[in-house]
Structures are given as C-alpha cells and as structure tokens.
Amino acid sequence: NTSRFLSSDSSVVQSPALPWEVIERVIDLCSNDKTALRGIALTCSQLYPRSRFVLFTNVKLRSANQLMKFYDAVQAQPHLQPVVQSLSFPWGIVPSPQLLSILPGLHHVTFNKISSAIGQLPQSALHSGLRSLTIRDARFQSPAAFFRFLSAFPSVEILTCERL
C-alpha cells in the first residue's frame, strides 16, 4: 500500500517519505518479477517512470504475441527505444530487422531453444551493436554449424552458452 510510504498531508501532492534512492533500489530489486513491477507502476504515478524503465531495460519475450505487443509499445513510445539493453526470445520468434534497428541501446541478445535445423541466420540477428550473446538450450548439427552461427555476430565480446 503506497499510503505507508507517502507523507500524510493530503492537501498537497504527496512525496515519498522514503528517500528516492531507496524507492528506486526497491524497484530495481523487483526487476525479475514483472508482475510486481507492473503493480508498482500502477500504484503511484511517481513510481511509474522508474518501473517502466526497469521493465524495458531487460525484456524477456516468450511468444510471438508478446513480441508484437513489445514492438507496438516501442513504436508508439519512441523514448523507450534507447532504454532496451537486453532482449531474450525463443529462436522461433526471431524479431524483424526493424525492431532491432530501432533499439540503439541493445547490446545483449539471448536466443532460447535453437533447433538443429537452423538453416540461414535471419538478417535480424545481424545487429552490429550486439556486444553480448547468450545461446540457451541449443542443438547444432556439428561444430562447424555452431561456428557458422557465431560468425554472424562479429562484434560479440561476451559469449555465454547454456545447455548446448
């Protein structure tokens, strides 16, 4: 309940009784709990900007529907585009090149569940700003196929592989 954290004088716009640094740290600590972040954002208009910032910094998409909603949100609110630093999604819903091209702050991508039938790497994967890449739950037909995949990311400095 927000009323515990706000001063009690209702005749003026209420300010948090806790220092902003503490409130922002609490919001930051909720970064892995999207439900809590959405709740915080809706609790108080003063908490909305920080909550939204944290929600859009590290985006984890699980379906094509979520991808479309995310794309629509960053198109409708261009000020959110530079906020996105990390994007995670299943291989089957690789986003369009237009999405990645409008995210100038994007430096990390996680591909989940790459199948052995990769074929040609989509152009959307060729994002020059990517410095960090995570490959999770992937199967490659051969080491050569794995190295071909990696060659599509010439700027990557940090590579994390999980469950290959």
| pLDDT averages per 10-residue partition of the chain, 164 residues | 48 68 86 85 86 89 89 92 91 73 89 67 60 89 86 89 88
Q: Which of the listed residues 35, 57, 79 is the one where a domain comes to its end?
A: 57
Q: Residue 42 CA to chain centroid, in angstroms?
A: 20
In whole angstroms, what is the distance from residue 46 CA to residue 153 CA?
40
User: What end-to-end distance do the CA atoms of the chain give, in Å?
Assistant: 44
The tokens 């972040």 sit on which residue? 37
Q: Which two tokens stand for residue 92?
A: 């089957």
Is the same domain home to 50 and 71?
no
- The per-residue pLDDT for 51 is 87
pTM, two decimals, is 0.72
In whole angstroms, what is the distance from residue 46 CA to residue 43 CA?
9
Which amino acid is present at 87? L
Is the same domain home to 44 and 20?
yes
Domain count, the chain: 2
Is the same domain home to 129 and 157?
yes
Q: In which domain, by residue range, is 9 found?
A: 1-57
- The per-residue pLDDT for 160 is 95
- The per-residue pLDDT for 12 is 53
Is the same domain home to 53 and 72?
no
- The per-residue pLDDT for 3 is 47
Helices (H), 12-76: 20-29, 34-43, 48-57, 64-76
Is the same domain home to 76 and 156?
yes
- The per-residue pLDDT for 122 is 52
